[in-house]
Amino acid sequence: MATIAVEAGADWLEIGTPLVMSVGTDAVRALRREFPNHPLIADLKIMDGGYGEAAMYAEAGADAVVVMGRAHDATVQRVCQAGEDFGLLVMGDDMGASDRIAEAARLEALGVGMVLHHIGHDHRSMHPELGLSPLTDLAGIVAATTVPIQAVGGLSIDQAVSCPTVGAGVVVFGAPLAIDDETSFTIPEGDMPRVLGEAIARVHATPVAR
């Protein structure tokens, strides 16, 4: 999958939470060996022990880690300290916040270098009647922050591609490429390079409205 992504023009690669939980830093080391020039993001969803966890993945070869906004201020600050010490980008994830705009501003004030505006899969799946989407608060989050913004959680490929027009210039492609519906994972192997390549090209051609 990483090879397909790189050949399709991806700028960076993410080690997603399930992969991190399954094989840990081995995934980072393996991808670093194969792709020495691509930034690697470890989606750790750090909630405590922030400095040590961030440092562990930095030493394995990660370029960025994710800390949860629902963590204590001290944890976010400790991850950011590790970011300074090890040259890591720290991404702050606002998932679960009652006021997502205020949470994004808080995360930036605590020192994160990017805000992930995230509506979780379980929450969306259990409450389909709410029509939850990260696009709802995205413009407000962009207006309340100065750091780069990424929106994730239930977006189609077309919706993800549109995010730079709102000011969220960091676009991630994951689940929309692999999920036909909310219950089955069916990677279209024959179409994946074309679908991903076209999506990445569209993102690269879209100016960030910020």
* Distance separating alpha carbons of residues 83 and 101, to the nearest angstrom: 24
DSSP for the chain?
-HHHHHHHT-S-EEE-HHHHHHHTHHHHHHHHHH-TTS-EEEEEEE-S-HHHHHHHHHHHT-SEEEEETTS-HHHHHHHHHHHHHHT-EEEEE-TT-SSHHHHHHHHHHHT-SEEEEE--HHHHHH-GGG---THHHHHHHHHH-SS-EEEESS--HHHHHHHHHHT--B---SHHHHBSSSS-B---TTTHHHHHHHHHHHHHTSPP--
> What pLDDT score was predicted for residue 121?
83
> What pLDDT score was predicted for residue 82?
98
Farthest-apart Cα atoms in the chain, separation: 46
> What pLDDT score was predicted for residue 185?
44
Residues 6+ apart with CB under 8 A from 163: 135, 138, 150, 151, 155, 169, 171
Q: Which residue has the tokens 């696009």?
A: 135
* Distance separating alpha carbons of residues 192 and 178, to the nearest angstrom: 9
Has domain 2-204 been given CATH number 3.40.50.1000?
Answer: no
Task: Specify the pTM.
Answer: 0.92
> What pLDDT score was predicted for residue 199?
92
Averages of pLDDT over runs of 10 residues in the chain (210 residues) are 94 95 97 98 98 98 98 98 98 96 98 96 83 91 98 90 96 73 51 88 93
* Distance separating alpha carbons of residues 57 and 180, to the nearest angstrom: 32
